[in-house]
Structure 1
């Protein structure tokens, strides 16, 4: 592919001269003494100017202008690839594309370990132990290399078993080569600019290794601990927290989880964080998570710890009165058998700031709770046996976060209204009696910024109770986020009329209107949004002005089991100007999603994701003309169970979908062609330039994906086809779909395909992952 490949390890102690010297040696150029950097750069440029080169720059720590070294621009499709721990550096060096290097899979990690260890791995009794050894390396090549160097010296199973036990105890004991890895990783920690980032990173070690940590929760803990100083409002604290989180991810100390809005800390970095904390007197951690422990740690361990995490265990009891004067965080969540907290348990925890008891079996809180005068965050959610909050709660004068969702608490003590520092309240309305003065308590919390009131779908409330609660919530003047279920549109109308906040740019909401089987916003799972404006509208009919008005601010819209509308445009296309995600489910009367005859220019211009489920009357996605700029940002289109739908891309629609990455069509029994030639004459070969994944399931009449193998499919990576028996030809040639790497299909279907030549079939066959299901 290239005339020459040049590899340069830039490293921390880099200079232009050192990079130039490495390039010169690879080019075998002779440079006379006394030549300066500018002259050397010209020599390199002259040599590479006529070549197609690949320059690999490894371990880049600081941004620099590669042209200063003499690397020229040329028209021969040369490439420069650089590797760095710092994402921001990639932007500073004007990278065209960022590739996130994930940790090795278990298969690749074991393969690397096997190669490094060598002949010892021929012993079959060693292999099961080796797999456990590799698992301890968390997919990090650097660590796999070091561990393999140690284990290649072990020539019998006894040494291997002992080595595994030692590895499982690291870093509490010294192991050859391992401390070197820790010191290397610790350098990234030491290089963080600011103590706030360091303590925020260390805090992640309180959670189980490789577990998903909810970002909002993590930031609440950071704020409660005082890691985000000089910010009082929750919105500002979250902004500061996201800035720190970005920096920690940027230097690879934390990583984004596969679950949206979650992060993870891998095993090795967690070990490093625990070791660092053990060396600091006032930051020692006692973190024993997911170990199945039934007995609490020794009291001296409690006394020396500043933060304790015993989450996800089998604790049944707690010590009567542990000496914990330095304790600031106590995490006991998901100890499902923990039924009681001793009366005097909190006596010496005056400095406690974060207390998480969620998903335990406690039935009450002890009197000593009143000692927690510095407590900032209290999590009791999913304590399904907890029946009341004690009146002593009023002693928690600094409490900012209280979560009592999914408990059996049937009344909100009037004392909650005296918690003047409360900024975030989360509760479930379902268990509260109709005569409980809940709304008067809420309206008295004057600094409240974030309010979540869950209402179970089957909860029946009188119109007057819901009207009263709605009116009281509308009086809160500091709210920046509200999650609330309105059983009827009329209640929403009261809020829209009474509240002055909901149109504010900084105000976010998740409103559910009508009776729905679930309060979850499923479409949100696909977005990185930490906060957004969502509307779920279910089991109603026709158009209501309050809904149309809320839609003007809505970013995520879910329409469920709605009747007597023919398209979303009936709500007023102009009201969808901020929409980024849309789901239509079970709407029997809808015949099209968008009516282009009433659509203004650039309609739905910010829509990224559209999901259509169970639409029995749907005939098309877009009816009529398609103005330029419409759907220009859409990345995902999913169609499921639309039994009369015949065409997906009506005239001109497909040409707008520059950003479409994922197209899924399932159980649409009348679809014969995905891209219909008569609907899309003179189709440009570069159509759908961003499409990466195409899913086609249960389409019995499908005979064609695209006409005449016209499209280039430049980005297509994955094709997933099942139960499409009439599809006998794929739209690929020897030169298109160059990035296709995976074809999921039924093994019995593959031999039925017709090929232009055998070379095409041979090219695609290695990418197939066959299932044995019959079409």
Structure 2
């Protein structure tokens, strides 16, 4: 709320990064002048100045000092700033040691940031920071002893993201005023039991780090155990929880009172540290390697029923999502991802054993399926009107036993708001859309990406409805077995929003637009908004006497490569563009490719 207000007042600016803001230089300078004029308290800011030495002009009267992003190597024996409340020294990677008396006179310090320095030990005077409320020790490669932090009784925010801690000290449990603890991405092997249960005021806990084996016996610890997950369920003020759990068995079967976690990102069964880069801010996320039926009832009520993002990874026991939906467990889902599953999951949903009376997955916006090798179709049976109504993105990747149609007509009628369809490496699929009996008034499909489809014959299994492709802006096709033409003549007439068309490595493709009596009469289709056209590795394209059968008046980039049957005299002028066309510009092509396919080359 405060940040939003400051943005609306133009005192802060968007940074383009998650959880970050910018401040205009004029606002910053004005703020510092105001601070200097009030009671002699001022700000000393020399951030990012490549300073190697501690600034001599730093006087006793300053209340805030920022020396972040410099190359300072040595520090004074004692920091004599009795009024200092804020000290920012982060990103001084040459600082390796603090003099023991450095903080001797810093009793008023409230905020301290020592992130991304090379310190190994905290100085003895650190324990004298009795009024410290905010401490950042992020990105410290090795820090051997942080037990003295337990003496900072007023500490409310402690962040040690990406720091190598090893054994978490039991003294942290003495920080009874702590409201936020962030250990994200840190290397933590053991956490003594009963540490978390003492942090009664804790509101936010971020623990997607090297620790996930809750309640396990400490190796070589003489029977001692790590902190148990039940310690977190008993914290009365905890509202934000982001944590890894090695196994569902770590979750207690019963709790005295249900927690009230309003924001969470809980990962069960994942010990892959790459998950750290996939933080889920301001959301309710869950990653599972087990079926919902194996989880305690309280956990289902507190977490599953609230989840908006759900990801199943290498899960056994998944059979039918409609079974879970029958109990209204998943009706808040906006994002669903399934990565790997066993042979029981033949279809995502089935209405043959349970016929839903109300819409299912009506709030789902993103659906991702990857390596679901035994799945043959998305839905068996008919879904009620309104089901999948909000679906905007569908991605199917690396599925090797799919049926002959990705989206049959009955399912196509339900996903009327689909905007992006990505289909990669799906064996057995002959058609993307089943169009029989399907006559939509309008479509919202914007982006169609097809790659490595070795059985596909055509985009549609029949005549495409006129409204089917009216909103398409991007079509990307690579390594597919399309036979003959890509679009029928009638469908091509509806591509008046198309901006990017890329077709490559389709050995049987002969034409972009199907030949009929209109094209035989040399009537050309016009793509009025097409800007980028890529045709490459198409050995049969426009072979023989066939000529280019479409025009692109706004074409800006044309890339033709390895189309051996294509007319050798083809040039940008054949597409009748009114623009200055970049022809076979490698840099522009690579930029376009990255936008369409990401890092896939």
- Structure-2-length-normalised TM-score: 0.75
1:631-670 aligned within 5 A? 631-645=388-402, 646-670=404-428
Alignment check: 8 A CA contact 2:209 2:273 kept: no
* CA apart distance, 1:461: 7.0
Does 2:181 match 1:425?
Answer: yes
Within the candidate set 555, 560, 566, 2:319 is matched to 566
Secondary structure of 2:388's counterpart equals coil
User: Quick one: distance in 1 between partners of 2:51 and 2:44?
Assistant: 19
Matched ranges for 1:26-425 at <5 A:
243-250=1-8, 254=12, 256=14, 259=17, 261-265=18-22, 270-280=24-34, 281=36, 282=41, 284-289=43-48, 293=50, 295-301=52-58, 306-391=63-148, 393-425=149-181
**CA drift at 1:772:** 5.4
Match of 2:373 in 1: 616
Q: What is the CA deviation profile of residues 654-682 of structure 1, one whole-angstrom value per residue up to 9, with x for unaligned ones?
A: 2222432222111113222221124xx13
**What residue number does 2:524 align with?**
758
Deviation at 1:726, TM superposition (A): 1.4
Q: CA deviation at 1:376?
A: 1.8
Tell me the residue number matched to 2:500: 742
CA RMSD of superposed structures (Å): 3.5
Q: Give CA deviations for 1:444-485 in whole Å, capped at 9, x if unaligned.
A: 121111123345389697369778612222221121122233
Q: Identify the residue that residue 580 of structure 1 maps to in structure 2.
A: 334
In the alignment, which of 430, 435, 460 is matched to residue 677 of structure 1? 435
Indicate if the aligned counterparts of 1:302 and 1:324 stay in contact, CA closer than 8 A.
yes
1:365 deviation in Å?
A: 1.0
Shifted more, 640-649 versus 569-578: the winner is 569-578
Aligned to 1:44: none
The alignment status of 1:485 with 2:485, answered yes or no, reads no
Residue in 1 aligned with 2:294? 544
- Asked if 1 retains the 8 angstrom alpha-carbon contact of 2:470 and 2:495, the reply is yes
1:591 equivalent in alignment to 2:346? yes
Whose strand fraction is larger, Structure 1's or Structure 2's? 2
Task: State the shift of 1:422 in Å.
Answer: 0.8
Matching residue within 487, 490, 501 for 1:730: 487
Distance 1:405 1:759, change over 3 A: closer
Structure with a larger share of its residues in helix: 1
Deviation track 1:322-366 (CA, whole Å, cap 9, x = no partner) reads: 443454333333433332122232234333332222232211111
Partners in 1 of 2:423 and 2:12 — Cα distance?
A: 36
Give per-residue Cα distances to partners, 1:163-206, cap 9 Å, x unaligned: xxxxxxxxxxxxxxxxxxxxxxxxxxxxxxxxxxxxxxxxxxxx
Partner of 1:23: none
Matched, 1:555 2:344: no
Distance 1:297 1:771 in 2: 59
Alignment of 1:607 with 2:364, yes or no, is yes
CA drift of 1:628 comes to 1.2
Give how far 1:556 is off.
1.4
Q: How far apart, CA to CA, are the structure 1 residues paired with 2:276 and 2:359?
A: 26
Aligned partners of 2:434 and 2:271: how far apart in 1?
37
Distance 1:440 1:602, change over 3 A: same
Q: Distance in 2 between matches of 1:771 and 1:355?
A: 58
Give me the whole-angstrom Cα distance separating, in 1, the residues matched to 2:304 and 2:562.
44
SS at match of 2:242: strand
Return closer, same or farther for 1:521/1:416 CA change in 2, 3 Å cut-off. Answer: closer
8 A contact 1:376–1:399 mirrored in 2? yes
> How far did 1:773 drift?
8.5
Within 2, Cα distance between the matches of 1:709 and 1:534? 38
Number of aligned residue pairs: give it.
Answer: 510
Match of 1:693 in 2: 447
- Flag structure 2 segments of 5+ consecutive residues without an equivalent: 218-222, 527-549, 564-600
Cα distance between partner residues in 1 of 2:393 and 2:276: 17
C-alpha distance in 1 between matches for 2:152 and 2:321: 48
Deviation at 1:321, TM superposition (A): 2.6
Gaps of 5+ in 1: 1-242
Q: How far off its partner does 1:555 sit?
A: 1.8
For 2:473, which of 717, 737, 756 is the aligned residue?
Answer: 717
In the TM superposition, residue 638 of structure 1 has moved relative to its aligned partner by 1.3
